[in-house]
Chain A
């Protein structure tokens, strides 16, 4: 083992060159010029990442976009698209005595009858973890069956896969996978008849894993351009400029505007582990649609770690529950499909806020509604 001395990271904050206002103005002007050239009333592009929405809303980027450029968030929040029956499975396991370990945002997401937080308030054991490793540590430290309720897109699924492939897991540890795979969801959005989406901004860190080459097939089949972008405000603006250029030119191709983190082939070590552990399965994404191959489930050979194989999870007793009138008025699914904005929802900021969320989009820090509630989404121009 060797060590290094000083670290750039410990040093003083670097000048935020990507927040350079002159560059931002130049990119904004370029976008305005491009939209003028296109000359239509509206050009709509979609991103599919909660962290992108956080940055867009936090830095007020929509205020510098031309009025005719409509930037919306699609199904980019894995917690939000976790379906009620998946939450129900975790709730039943918890009520039946397992300790559920899960990422914090999952705890308050409503199931059919209750959330994990509700179950915990009635005595069930629910622990928030920040990583799959911490769930394993919990299992090592107690006698109870510990079930890791695993959510997240590819970026997070690879971490769960690495844990599954460890050879010294405690016998009381298992996984309830609600992991989601993004590319099939982009296809569903592209196929919605009323969609106006003309191009996608792909999330930089998910593409760090999958590589930008993954989107070539999508581009070929749907004729829509995809641009991979980073998370700095100027990364996002630069990504948008390239995307709108491609739309203007009628060019359907993939472009990587985040080369410092993304390569064509991606992280093949992580991909290998992910596909060794998971297979895709079709299933509902909450409020959106049944997404073919949009879920990641443990392969048969890992059945001993799969909570669904290990326990008889009978969620029927929850299904008799009649959803509240408020739940019926929630339009999370329509928002995540790109067909409505949070401000179109009559509950937004009234009956539904982060303290008393009606839908999952107001629970998760990656949910469009919660992000808009904190930062505001579409500043008045």
Chain B
């Protein structure tokens, strides 16, 4: 559930004196879209994105005459001049929920992860977030199946479901009961659906099979 479990550790960083051209080549070669800018001690100063770099370069539509001077300036200009300095960061102990809220609110694709000394120890991207939640939700987990039950809004329904499954040694990796939903969703690790349905019916639940599920979306 923590950022440190899914982030890229020891990421590539640059110092603020590197030129824009150098950093552009670095991003291109590595296939990155973000790179943290750090001081000599590895402390976070800012972030440069491929978008910052693109906007620093002259337009392809500019004439040679117009762009010539600019190319020379770019080669001399340190990345410090274009980096974002008002940068949000996370710590490794931040939760995936923290990361989701920040990525969404700040509309950024990745966030540097720092330790207590503000030294950069990682980068956490939207891709890392998707990977983390896919794993936590058991997405594409081979051998599992979704079971849908009618939600009668009984206070003890989740405990009864889990107890019934556990007593019969049926591994359940996910239970979701969205607020005010007509259904409860379970992901179980078995193909013996007859047995699962029988157990759940015995515990007082009604499985929804087929068209009912597609209507719920």
| A, B bound | no
